[in-house]
Amino acid sequence: MAEEPAGTITAKADQLKGLTVLGKIDLSATNNDRRGPGGRGPRPIASSDVNKRGLPAGPGQKKRTRLPGPPGTGTGTSAPSTGGGYQGNRPNQPGGNRPGQAGGNRPGQPAPRPNAPALTPEQAEKQIQEQIKATLAKLGGTKTNQTNRAKYRRDKRSMLAEDREALRAQNELDAKTLKLTEFISANDLASLMDVNVNEVIKVCLGMGMFVSINQRLDAEAITVIADEFGFDVEFLSAEEEEISIDAGDAEEDLRPRAPIVTIMGHVDHGKTSLLDYIRDANVARGEAGGITQHIGAYEVKTKNGVPITFLDTPGHEAFTAMRARGAKVTDIAIIVVAADDSVMPQTKEAINHAQAAGVPIIIALNKIDKASANPEKIREELSQINILVEEWGGKYQSQEVSAKSGLGIDELLEKVLLEAELLELKANPDRGAIGTVIEASLDKGRGYVTTVLVQTGTLNVGDIVLAGPHYGRVKAMTDHRGKKMKTAPPATPVQVLGLTGAPQAGDRIQVMETEREARETATQRLQLAREQSIRTKKHITLDEIGRRLAIGSFKELNILVKGDVDGSVEALSDSLLKLSTPEVKVNILSKGVGAISESDVLLASASDAIIIGFQVRPSQSARKLAEQEQIDVRLYSIIYNAINEVKDAMEGMLAPTVQEVVVANAEVRIVFNITKVGTIAGCMVTDGSFTRRTRVRVVRDGIVMHTGEIQDLKRFKDDVSEVRQGYECGISIKNFNELQEGDNIEGFEEKEIKRTL
């Protein structure tokens, strides 16, 4: 085998062969047999066959001549034929085309145009598809169209039903989603969920949180509480960055700061007197009733020159929220307990607030110099609520002190500094100030005065600050004695002038870069607060109308509260809301800081409300307008005087209880039937006395036969106004003539008994 050149591949395959012809069949004989004698003769040849195949024309046929058509078409027009075609073989039919036909076309169809362009394959395919559709439509007829329309209507109804179901599910989901802002109060949260605020407070107590009606809740607490009631929460944001107090501070920038100490305890246990001795002042003497009704923030220096910031909180039960705020901003809590008293409810509440805030506690046993003082009893009562002092082997420091003589005060301050040293309190003074609003008030000459506790950074005169929904430039700063200050380092309480309004106690205050940024954020917060107030405003429902109609004597007491500082206004509103009952509801229409103005009087006039002023007075024009409109303006200086008077007013609004009192009994001895007069019973009064106005019951064998009024009351023949025990008399009863001997006539009166809350 010869060697093939490299790179060449030779393919080998068998040679393909065509068909193998085995034989041939001659069909001419078969055709001749079929067309033979007796048949119709040979099959005629069509003229088209003559033309196409070149076959010879039969008898009487003429070969069709085609005229040349347009170039490229390959078609032509047939010449007219006189003989011809298959028709020529039919009897009585002249040769050629039928009448009205040209070139073999069918009736009604035009002859093909000689210049018609040829169809492209795509056009031909499209034309075929259209013809198929038209044919199918004709075959389907009206029934198919009706079926399609019915199916379309069914599908449309189904889609509408699905849309309605999806909308209903979305509405249910929206109804169970609360859209609210963070730090909403417990009362507003209860209104949004349409539950009683006591239920919300109960859930908070189960979580270990001690809250009041107006106390604001953080996001985590709101989420947990809403989840307990089956609601989802969506928080609306003011598009602000939450600034942490310790955020962005390097360790080398931190400097030691003064401790912030809160003094808490029961009312009249000597908290303010203790602070007075420490800072050599007399605060309680300036308070109405000798009771602290504001949160005070003071800075004092010990004998060693170490500064300590003190917060003084009220001890009355109305100031729960204020005490809670004091516990939130503090580092150390001093719980003052009078040694001659016991551990009172407000003392326990203050301890609970401090423990919830995770604040170290120091127990100060005050009034130790009194003869009736018993500190061991106080320690024992504290141990019953799991507060073991160091003397009893516990972890809580305690000190016996006397706010009058100053006994043990220095030792108490040393223990405060010891706790502060363990806490290692530090802050960065070289940054923008961040602090907490302690109190806010409206001064007629100076505007809004805000007491601020700076927690980190340094606050300077001229800084642009933002506090809640209010902002402004710091125009002036003073300490608690009124001395002007230019800077306020960390842990310093100051009074700030220049804000556009009175922020709520507990609001975060921070220094902003520009006034525009502060204004925009304040506006957003104000809008959110307005939306929140609109959302929490409950409209009357049919169920509520039915409940009021069922009670029959439902009343509402609308109140406007104005006070000197925000904390007192909040505490007073909180206490008044708690007075609401199912029959008398208290509505706080408005609460604010500052003097009573004309707009307040107009609002009270429009809503039929009373105005309660706490340590404020109405302006001259507001006083005149109140006299014209006959608006009740009540002014108070002690908070529980206001609470007690409102409570008395609500008791007066309660419908009195009607009670029947039996005042007399008489025994029927004889019965006289007198014509045109009726039946008169001769009676002996066995108990009490009867008068003409006494209502009576006729009792026979222990069963009441009739209840009615006396028609005539006589002694012998004379009419008398009263018959007393032991005397005989004649009694006739209106519309009752069936008296019998032995009946008992019982006299009774209906007395209205005043209800209390």
Secondary-structure class of domain 542-653 per CATH: alpha beta
Q: Select the more confidently predicted residue: 454 or 209.
A: 454
185 CB contacts (<8 Å, ≥6 apart)? 213, 214, 215, 216, 217
Mean pLDDT of the chain: 77
For 741, the enclosing helix (H) or strand (E) is none
> DSSP of 129-140, one letter per residue?
HHHHHHHHHHHH
The total of other beta-carbon atoms located within 10 Å of residue 705's CB is: 14
Dihedral sign, Cα of residue 114, residue 116, residue 117, residue 122: negative
Residue 649: is its pLDDT beyond 70? Answer: yes
Residue 341: is its pLDDT beyond 80? Answer: yes
Q: Tens digit of pLDDT for each residue in 58-80? A: 555 555 555 554 444 444 444 44
Residue 296: is its pLDDT beyond 80? Answer: no
CATH code at 657-753: 2.40.30.10
d(CA 730, CA 668): 9
Residue 720, token pair as written in the block: 């008398």
The single-letter DSSP state of residue 280 is T
Q: Report the candidate in 661, 749, 751, 669 with the shortest Cα–Cα distance to residue 710.
A: 749
Sequence ranges of the domains in the chain: 28-61, 177-235, 258-423, 434-534, 542-653, 657-753
Residue 541: is its pLDDT beyond 70? Answer: no
Instruction: Indicate the pLDDT class of residue 98, thresholds 50, 70 and 90.
Output: very low
- Which range is least confidently modeled, 120-129, 230-239, 325-334, 554-563? 230-239
Q: Give the pLDDT score at 527.
A: 77
Q: Select the more confidently predicted residue: 27 or 362.
A: 362
Q: Give the pLDDT score at 92.
A: 45
Q: Give the pLDDT score at 327.
A: 57
Instruction: Indicate the pLDDT class of residue 196, thresholds 50, 70 and 90.
Output: confident
Is 501:470 a contact under the CB 8 Å cutoff?
yes
Residue 367: is its pLDDT beyond 70? Answer: yes
Q: Give the pLDDT score at 148.
A: 74
Alpha-carbon dihedral angle through residues 468, 474, 476, 480, given to the nearest 10 degrees = 30
Residue 90: is its pLDDT beyond 60? Answer: no
The single-letter DSSP state of residue 241 is P
Tokens 């942490």 sit at which residue? 244
Instruction: Indicate the pLDDT class of residue 577, thresholds 50, 70 and 90.
Output: confident
Residue 749, token pair as written in the block: 């009166």
- First-last CA distance in the chain: 129
- Which range is least confidently modeled, 1-15, 66-80, 459-473, 550-564? 66-80
Q: Give the pLDDT score at 521.
A: 87
Query: What count of residues does the chain have?
Result: 757
- Which range is least confidently modeled, 16-25, 53-62, 489-498, 742-751? 53-62
Q: Tens digit of pLDDT for each residue in 481-509? A: 788 889 988 888 898 999 988 888 778 88
Residue 96: is its pLDDT beyond 50? Answer: no
Residue 501, token pair as written in the block: 């309004």
| Arithmetic mean of pLDDT, 643-655 | 79
- Which range is least confidently modeled, 4-13, 324-333, 393-402, 591-600? 4-13
Residue 454: is its pLDDT beyond 50? Answer: yes
Q: Select the more confidently predicted residue: 523 or 534.
A: 523
Helix (H, G, I), strand (E, B) or coil at 389: strand
Residue 253, token pair as written in the block: 């920038």
Tokens 């009220």 sit at which residue? 314
Q: Give the pLDDT score at 101.
A: 44
Q: What is the 3-state secondary structure (H, E, C) of 585-632?
A: EEEEEEEEECCECHHHHHHHHHHCEEEEEECCCECHHHHHHHHHHCCC
Q: Select the more confidently predicted residue: 657 or 483.
A: 483
Q: Select the more confidently predicted residue: 75 or 559.
A: 559
Amino acid at the residue 218: D
The pLDDT > 70 percentage for the chain reads 74
Q: Do domains 258-423 and 434-534 have the same CATH topology?
A: no
Residue 267: is its pLDDT beyond 50? Answer: yes
Q: Give the pLDDT score at 282.
A: 43
Q: Report the candidate in 506, 637, 648, 476 with the shortest Cα–Cα distance to residue 563.
A: 637
Is 443:451 a contact under the CB 8 Å cutoff?
no
Residue 285: is its pLDDT beyond 50? Answer: no
For 733, the enclosing helix (H) or strand (E) is strand 728-733
CATH code at 434-534: 2.40.30.10
| Arithmetic mean of pLDDT, 20-46 | 58
| Arithmetic mean of pLDDT, 448-458 | 89
Instruction: Indicate the pLDDT class of residue 30, thresholds 50, 70 and 90.
Output: low
Instruction: Indicate the pLDDT class of residue 472, thresholds 50, 70 and 90.
Output: very high
d(CA 312, CA 545): 46
Q: Give the pLDDT score at 320.
A: 58
Amino acid at the residue 520: E
Helix (H, G, I), strand (E, B) or coil at 643: helix
Q: Give the pLDDT score at 175.
A: 66
Q: Select the more confidently predicted residue: 617 or 78.
A: 617
Q: What is the pTM of this model?
A: 0.55
Cα 7 versus chain centre, distance: 88
Residue 555, token pair as written in the block: 């009343």
Residue 227: is its pLDDT beyond 50? Answer: yes
| Arithmetic mean of pLDDT, 277-301 | 60
Instruction: Indicate the pLDDT class of residue 464, thresholds 50, 70 and 90.
Output: very high
Instruction: Indicate the pLDDT class of residue 466, thresholds 50, 70 and 90.
Output: very high
Secondary-structure class of domain 258-423 per CATH: alpha beta
Residue 656: is its pLDDT beyond 50? Answer: yes
What are φ and ψ of residue 356, in 5° steps?
Answer: -65, -30
- Which range is least confidently modeled, 13-22, 112-121, 482-491? 112-121
Residue 36: is its pLDDT beyond 80? Answer: no
d(CA 331, CA 425): 9
Instruction: Indicate the pLDDT class of residue 104, thresholds 50, 70 and 90.
Output: very low
Instruction: Indicate the pLDDT class of residue 647, thresholds 50, 70 and 90.
Output: confident
